[in-house]
Structure 1
Amino acid sequence: MTDSPRVHVLHENPEWLPPFRAAFEDAGVPLAEWSLTDGAIDLGSEPPEGVFWSRLSASAPTRGHAASKEYGRAVLRWLESWGRTVVNGSAVLEIEVSKAAQHAALRSSGIDVPTTVAVFGRDGLSQAARDFPAPFIAKHNQGGKGLGVRRFDSHEEFDAWVAGPDFEPSPDGITLLQEYLWAREPFITRAEFVDGEFVYAVRVDTSAGSFELCPADACAVPDAAGVEPAPLFQLRPEIDAGHPLIVSYRDFLARTGIGIAGIEFSETVDGRLVTYDVNTNTNYNPDVEAVAPASGPGSIARALGARLGALHAVG
């Protein structure tokens, strides 16, 4: 930690930070990193000056950092109690780590979401699944990177999974059952926002059937022969700031206080635009960044640098 005013990024995964370090350096904005995997804070002490940006992730348990959610809750509320400028603060963390909370916030904003049932524990899963025609989806309430998402083509298949050794509970014990979205074409769209404003949209190829759609370079995995896979992520320039769904997303972000996010939606065969995920620790794909009209990390560095400059002006 440092006492000089700067942007402080709160995170638990350093592998995602290189593009942001480079962007902040290019923008001349000082950056300090707080890793919330261990450590201590004096709750009676005053935090350092600056702007605080939370990149805490729902996928932290997949990296052995299950407690980072609780660390983040404590640190963010401490910062907010001292009146610090926090981007994606404590209320936003609750949305990041709960797809049920995302669903409620999106629905209350008038955005189409999948039919979803939250099941607490394991015992009621098979009975609750009977309300869904097959195929249907089961997913973790606290997910991330698409891990824990499964498609089931029959209730018998689902029953066997629930009763068997391969069942994997969500880190918070809540499993979501969700209607299967029949996509018009095999892709989903991810819309990126910085400081509540649209940056660009990404077309994500889902033809292989995978739900693991992390866009970061650190998530790319070569095939068994060591060959890099074909690009799954492409710029989608026809989705612009005037698109009705993008306008709705801007209103949603303003209502919830989310400053930085990637929001994913599917276009279904029956003409729906269904939003199913909000990522408040968004990462950016290098292939898309190379051709995009604006850089995601660059936009973040400029936006948070402007907030830091405003603090200097006030001081």
Structure 2
Amino acid sequence: MDPLTHALTGAAAAQSVAPEEKHRPAAFTAAIAGLLPDVETFMHMPSDPLFNIEIHRQFTHAFLFIPVGALLTAGLLWYVMRRHLSFRELFFYSFLGFATHGLLDAATSYGTELLWPFADTRFAWNLLPIIDPLLTGVMAVLTTAAFYYRKRMFGWIFFGWLLLYLTFGFVQRERGISAAGELAEDRGHRIERLVVKPTIGNLLLWRSTYIAGDTVHVDAIRSGIFSPQIIYEGDAAPIIRPETDFAEWKGTTLYNDLLRFRRFSDGYLIRHPEKDDIIGDARYSMIPNDLNPLWGIRADTTRPDRHVPFLNFRDAGQEVRQTFIDQLTGRENR
């Protein structure tokens, strides 16, 4: 999730339990703790561009790290907050704020290693978009009211709203999975792997990505609340398998980086439609039924002993924005 949503959720966790006289310093402490797990965003290794995407949402987001993060947060805030909270209270409210971060991220689509270091599984429940103005807007109102009135009730309402929104996301995701399955069946495809993810800022328009045979298929599914589903059929591309497509480079840095990127992309690897040397993550695109990836790596076979660069392709031009809006509002022709 975005930093504001993390801070608000951390603050609300403290506001739900803090006594009136400790309400505001507790909320401030938990809000800071709710932000701190993303400190790994600033960890880079210039010689290895894939290091940053591998470490993102890794150890600082894991269950095992919560008490460590809470202790670090309490230590950082002790000098500023010592007149308002004891160190024990600082640790407690930091623990609450830190604990919300990984779970909230796992509810989105990027993937979070909650069980590190025991397992490297990236949990992505695909219930929330990374940024959602409706979710965060209501959160902001409730957190502000709680801060002003110093009442636990607003914190409880906050988490009631979050639970309601997560439930709606679950229902919408399941509707999308059902629609994607029916679409594949109509095409005569046998789905081997399927993922349905919300698009940015909403729970109405979803992106379906599935693998059938040696091909990746993407489609957009608009699941309206009071209207029938609309399917925007999309593109298809051959899946990239390093073991066969890059067999002659096996054992090189290039080959090992391809395996690392495949793990990060959960196996959904394709070539960029317009850049043959770019291997992209088929799960994400600016347009939900398009195969132009949001990010990828350049597989330079002339330099197989160098780490691959990680590249972003965020085209937010007028045509892209209009296509997205048309699909979101159900106006685009199918």
Structure with a larger share of its residues in strand: 1
Higher-Rg member (1/2): 2
